[in-house]
Amino acid sequence: MNSNIKDMVWVFAEQSNGELADVSLELLHKAGALAKKMDSEVSAVLLGHEIAELANTLFAHGADNVYLLDDKELKDFRSLPYANLITKLVEDKQPRIVLFGATHTGRDIAPRVASHTRSGLTADCTELKIETLTLRKVEHTDLLLQIRPAFGGNIIATIISPDVAIQMATIREGVMEMGEADPSRTGHVIQIPVKLGPIEVAVQIIEKHQKPSEVNLKTAPIIVAGGYGADTPEKFQLIKDLAKVLGADVAGSRAAVDAGLIEAERQVGQTGTTVRPKLYIAIGISGAIQHRAGMQESQKIIAINNDPEAPIFGVAHYGITGDLEVVIPKLIAAYKSQLH
Ligand SMILES: Cc1cc2nc3c(=O)[nH]c(=O)nc-3n(C[C@H](O)[C@H](O)[C@H](O)COP(=O)(O)OP(=O)(O)OC[C@H]3O[C@@H](n4cnc5c(N)ncnc54)[C@H](O)[C@@H]3O)c2cc1C
């Protein structure tokens, strides 16, 4: 690393079994935009064992430097060693910003590191910006605007931490866009020695059982989502039928999940998955802000709702006002007729 260049924007590069979490790569792209405004570099913090080659992927997605902490004690994630090592590194290097994915791991480590380093931390941000602000006649440079829904999603709050040196945020998977990887990018790997005391490694992992999720809405090109407008299993079946004809994945609003019409892992929105498919068809979904937060970046949105005033029409590119029990069979018939 060139010692004249500021190294102020960090991303925790989460990996499991040698595979990087998508959210870490998404955050690197966002970190690049933030760092540009701060005239800084982007660094990734990578912990694990025998994972050095992941640095190339991190460089390709925007890291200029990778702090590599490689030790057999770090093979599997454990809260204490991971949090303590990151804390020591943050205390030593004093970055201005540290970003974590809002995953189980990120949500475990971020508050520990923030608390130990007395940093500001905002969870589940949906947007991040850099600004210089004057508050009470004091100028604060490189302030991280941590933007997220608050009060049950009724307002979008901008949270700042002007009185601390280090600003941290967690961001959920899919919220930030993963830009293109550039395999020609390179950077610096900085090896950090790993020293752990007996208390930090007191918790031993005896066995690991992992059940990979069979649902991956994030990569689905077409999603047909149903809401509480399809309030019976029979009506919801129409949504599944349309998805089948279109070769789409099925998703739902939280109200549909709460009513047991669809599995929780298929929920789209603030407390579900954030998706950006080529086509999102929202059927019987009112378009509450918490739902829109998870789908409004879709390339094309079609909404079907019997209420012409439904807020979903505000984000839809095409809208059909009508009863889903009438509209869906017509759509299925029309699509099938095009196939023959
Ligand atoms: C902290 C918090 C987090 C949340 N997170 C999420 C989240 O992640 N995802 C999410 O979706 N919600 C979330 N919610 C809930 C959200 O506020 C809404 O309550 C929910 O999205 C409503 O779901 P819905 O639109 O399916 O149901 P409703 O609001 O009941 O809307 C049903 C819609 O269907 C239409 N309709 C009814 N009958 C028909 C018919 N026969 N044909 C066509 N249209 C019909 C109605 O006009 C209406 O617009 C969250 C709420 C909070 C407070």
- The residue whose CB lies within 8 Å of the most ligand 1 atoms, and thus the one to mutate among 273, 283, 304, 306, is 306
pLDDT digits (tens, 9 = 90+) for 104-150: 999 999 999 999 999 999 999 999 999 999 998 999 999 999 999 88
| Per-residue pLDDT at 340 | 66
Spacing, Cα 256 to ligand 1 middle (Å): 8
Task: State the pairing for strand pair 127-135/138-150.
Answer: antiparallel
Burial class (CB in 10 A: 0-12, 13-18, 19+), 318: exposed
Under 8 Å between Cβ of 24 and 109? no
Q: Edge-to-edge strands of the sheet including 300-305?
A: 249-252, 222-226, 279-283, 300-305, 318-321
Which atom of ligand 1 is least distant from the CA of 307? 47
Q: How confident is the model at residue 5 (pLDDT cuts 50, 70, 90)?
A: low
Backbone φ, ψ for residue 94 (5° rounding):
50, 60
Ligand 1 pocket member 271 (CB < 6 A): yes
| Per-residue pLDDT at 190 | 97
CA distances from 191 to 89, 121, 235 (A): 11, 27, 57
Spacing, Cα 334 to ligand 1 middle (Å): 27
The protein residue whose alpha carbon is closest to atom 49 in ligand 1 is 286
Q: Is 80 exceeded by the pLDDT of residue 176?
A: yes
Q: Is 80 exceeded by the pLDDT of residue 153?
A: no
pLDDT digits (tens, 9 = 90+) for 328-338: 999 999 998 88
- The residue whose CB lies within 8 Å of the most ligand 1 atoms, and thus the one to mutate among 285, 298, 320, 321, is 285
- The mean pLDDT value of the chain amounts to 94
Spacing, Cα 228 to ligand 1 middle (Å): 6
Spacing, Cα 289 to ligand 1 middle (Å): 9
- Region 257-266: what's the mean pLDDT? 96
| Per-residue pLDDT at 6 | 78
Name the E strands within the chain. 6-13, 15-16, 19-20, 40-48, 65-70, 97-101, 120-125, 127-135, 138-150, 155-159, 167-171, 188-191, 222-226, 249-252, 279-283, 300-305, 318-321
Ligand 1 pocket member 319 (CB < 6 A): no
Three-class DSSP category at 45: strand
Ligand 1 pocket member 228 (CB < 6 A): yes
* Distance, CA of 249 to CA of 209 (rounded, Å): 27
User: Minimal CA–CA distance to 146: which of 122, 163, 171, 118?
Assistant: 122
| Per-residue pLDDT at 212 | 80
The more confidently predicted of residues 228 and 175 is 228
Q: How confident is the model at residue 2 (pLDDT cuts 50, 70, 90)?
A: very low
| Per-residue pLDDT at 196 | 96
Least confident of 22-26, 115-119, 146-150, 321-325: 146-150
pLDDT digits (tens, 9 = 90+) for 284-306: 999 998 999 899 999 999 999 99
- The residue whose CB lies within 8 Å of the most ligand 1 atoms, and thus the one to mutate among 228, 281, 323, is 228
- Alpha carbon 257 to chain centroid distance? 21
The pLDDT > 70 percentage for the chain reads 98
Tally of residues, the chain:
340
Q: Is 90 exceeded by the pLDDT of residue 238?
A: yes
pLDDT digits (tens, 9 = 90+) for 35-63: 999 999 999 999 999 999 999 999 999 99
Backbone φ, ψ for residue 281 (5° rounding):
-110, 115
